């Protein structure tokens, strides 16, 4: 009986949110699987003090901190990226991505340059795609998709490079061909993950924010070092 009451409550909440937020432009980047809870439970059996230490560390983490993509964490990357557009990208999308590029370049933390990268250099490819949401999910609009791809070679001539991509879903042009969405997807490309802060351009629901928050800047500094200008 308790389960049925919970399901009924959840249904009403879902319907209420769909009514308030129809439609929402969201970034549907899949969340990574997190085994940390299982690991913590196993370690706590051996050393109970580990749990209290982890809880303290969580309290010290700022709510406005912007996470870093897991595959970028701990990598040593050049701050310079060479970007190019896929062949079918319309002018309207190119324009909005160029504006996003300028926003990141103004930070001095990354340097995005038009051109073709070598295998050993960082690159960003801007693209478009058309994805219609299913009839069951019409309240949510996927506005774009982006992310890093780390390429590494060890041994002689070792290097680490990010061959990233950032794209807009042009099936919904009014919701996706926007500066805020372009800045968000480019953020994924250079290593920023989704943030729980509404001040961040990496908040997963588009709010029209195109200015990098302090949390966004701090995350970029962690990846690329201090600004050069």
For 169-219, the DSSP string reads ETTSHHHHSSHHHHHHHHHHHTTB---S-TTSTT-SB--S--SPPHHHHHH
Do the beta carbons of residue 164 and residue 48 sit within 8 Å? Answer: no
Nearest to 144 by CA among 167, 173, 122: 167
Residue 177 lies in a domain: yes
Quote the percentage of the chain above a pLDDT of 90: 64
Residue 142 lies in a domain: yes
Residue 28 has pLDDT above 90, yes or no: no
Q: Which domain holds residue 161?
A: 80-224
CATH code of 182's domain: 3.40.390.10
Q: Please tell me whether residue 146 adopts helix, strand or coil conformation.
A: strand
Please give the pLDDT value at position 17.
40
Residue 94 lies in a domain: yes
Do the beta carbons of residue 50 and residue 40 sit within 8 Å? Answer: yes
Task: Give the least confident one: 15-19, 95-99, 114-118.
Answer: 15-19
**Domains: count for the chain:** 1
Between the alpha carbon of residue 66 and those of residues 86, 151, 197, 213, 226, the distances in Å are 29, 23, 8, 9, 16
Residue 87 lies in a domain: yes
Please give the pLDDT value at position 3.
37
> In this structure, what token pair is assigned to residue 23?
């439609």
The single-letter DSSP state of residue 138 is T
Residue 140 lies in a domain: yes
Q: What is the pLDDT of residues 153-170, one digit of tens each?
A: 888 889 999 999 999 999
Residue 37 lies in a domain: no
Residue 71 lies in a domain: no
What does the alpha-carbon distance between residue 227 and residue 217 come to, in Å, rounded to a whole number?
A: 10
Do the beta carbons of residue 167 and residue 184 sit within 8 Å? Answer: no
Q: What is the pLDDT of residues 123-143, one digit of tens each?
A: 999 999 999 988 776 678 899
Residue 198 lies in a domain: yes
Q: What is the pLDDT of residues 29-73, one digit of tens each?
A: 543 322 333 334 433 444 444 333 333 334 344 778 999 999 999
What does the alpha-carbon distance between residue 103 and residue 63 come to, in Å, rounded to a whole number?
A: 24
Nearest to 188 by CA among 108, 100, 115, 102: 100
């Amino acid at each position: 009986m308790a389960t049925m009451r919970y399901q009924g409550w959840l249904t009403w909440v879902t319907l209420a949110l769909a009514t308030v937020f129809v439609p929402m432009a969201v970034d549907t980047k899949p969340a990574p699987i997190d085994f940390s809870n299982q690991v913590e439970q196993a370690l706590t059996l051996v050393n109970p003090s580990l749990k209290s230490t982890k809880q303290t560390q969580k309290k010290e983490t700022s709510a406005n901190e912007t996470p870093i993509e897991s595959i970028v964490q701990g990598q040593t990357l050049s701050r310079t990226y060479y970007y190019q557009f896929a062949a079918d990208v319309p002018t309207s999308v190119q324009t909005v991505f160029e504006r996003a590029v300028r926003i990141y370049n103004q930070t001095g933390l990354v340097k995005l340059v038009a051109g073709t990268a070598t295998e050993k250099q960082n690159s960003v490819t801007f693209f478009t795609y058309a994805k219609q949401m299913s009839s069951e999910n019409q309240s949510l609009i996927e506005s774009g998709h982006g992310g890093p791809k780390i390429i590494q070679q060890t041994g002689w001539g070792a290097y680490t490079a990010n061959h990233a991509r950032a794209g807009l879903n042009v099936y919904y042009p009014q919701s996706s061909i926007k500066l805020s969405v372009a800045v968000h997807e480019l953020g994924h490309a250079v290593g920023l993950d989704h943030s729980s802060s509404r001040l961040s351009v990496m908040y997963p629901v588009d709010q029209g924010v195109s200015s990098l928050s302090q949390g966004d800047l701090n995350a970029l500094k962690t990846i690329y070092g201090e600004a050069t200008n």
